[in-house]
Structure 1
Amino acid sequence: MFVEKPWSQWTETEGKKVQYDCIAGNIITFALSSDEFYRVSQCSSTKEMWDILEVTHEGTIDVKRAKKHVLIQEYKLFKMLKGETIAYVHKIFTHIVNHLIGLGKIFDKKELNTKILKYLDRSWQPKVIAISHSKDLTTLTTTSLFGKLREHEQEMNRVNEEETGENKSKGLPSN
């Protein structure tokens, strides 16, 4: 921000605005790589720097809209595939949801929890029913839900390992 009058004629408010703009500009430039710095080094205000960085990294409104549509489609098509781990499903689901939230989409806990439970692999059906009947999906966080699912997955892996070990010791083929 430049004030078109001599320094001696600036009001206290104008002086503070320029000071804050300089501080903000310094914070931004110190946080940038050299390539990013050169992109904004000729800017005359922090706002101009911010606008250039925003368009560079987030895109224009049209790009954001297109990203949002793609992510909404990914959210709609989301489902666990056979052989995927809960940790992987958690990672993918969180990635989609966090990006949608960043683009302005609002979710409630029940919607997210229902989406997760509804689209787990069929082998999860007994656990899905148990969670659906025993937990209030409006208050359960997705992190807690994925924690419970990961706990169940670990228990199922342990049981499968025990069964496989017993079958090997009896000379039976493993499942």
Structure 2
Amino acid sequence: EQNEDIKSMFTRFTNIINALQSLDKTYTNSELVRKTLWCLPRSWMPKVTAIEEAKNLSLLPLEDLLGSLMTHELSMQKREDDEEKENKKKKGGSPKIIRK
């Protein structure tokens, strides 16, 4: 889902995996990590590439991946908030003086 946060995406992902397990379909941790990365939106591709290059995906625990993605999401949100505040300052400019 496009504007879904990481925690919601992971909850949905876990529900799907649990449903598949009840049908006797199981995945290794490595497969779950790769599927999680594959599900991320296009805007996350630089982060996905960085994780793929820096980490051994066969050894990366799913929980560590989730922590890394949530940290990155918070960082992106803070950057967006800071940019929004900066833009408001620029648009607002200095207060106008009204003379009588």
- TM-score normalised per structure 1: 0.50
What percentage of residue pairs aligned between the two structures are identical?
Answer: 39
The 2-side partners of 1:131 and 1:102 are apart by: 30
Q: Which residue of 2 aligns with 1:6?
A: none
Aligned residue pair count: 92
Query: How far, CA to CA, are the matches of 2:19 and 2:29 in structure 1?
Result: 16
Find 1:102's aligned residue among 19, 22, 31.
22
Q: In 1, distance between residues paired with 2:30 and 2:73? A: 22
Identify the residue that residue 124 of structure 1 maps to in structure 2.
44
- 1:58 is aligned to none
After superposing on structure 2, the runs of 4+ consecutive aligned residues of structure 1 that deviate more than 6 Å are: none
For the aligned residues, what is the CA RMSD?
Answer: 1.3
Bigger relative CO (Cα 8 Å, ≥ 6 apart): 2
Structure 1 residue 107 displacement after superposition: 0.7
SS at match of 1:140: coil
Structure 1: runs of 5 or more not aligned: 1-80
Query: TM-score normalized by structure 2?
Result: 0.84
Task: Tell me by how many angstroms 1:103 deviates.
Answer: 3.1
Q: CA deviation at 1:100?
A: 1.8
Q: Which runs of 5+ in 2 are unaligned?
A: 93-100
**How do residues 138-153 of structure 1 correspond to structure 2 at under 5 angstroms?**
138-153=58-73
Counterpart selection for 2:11 from 66, 91, 94: 91
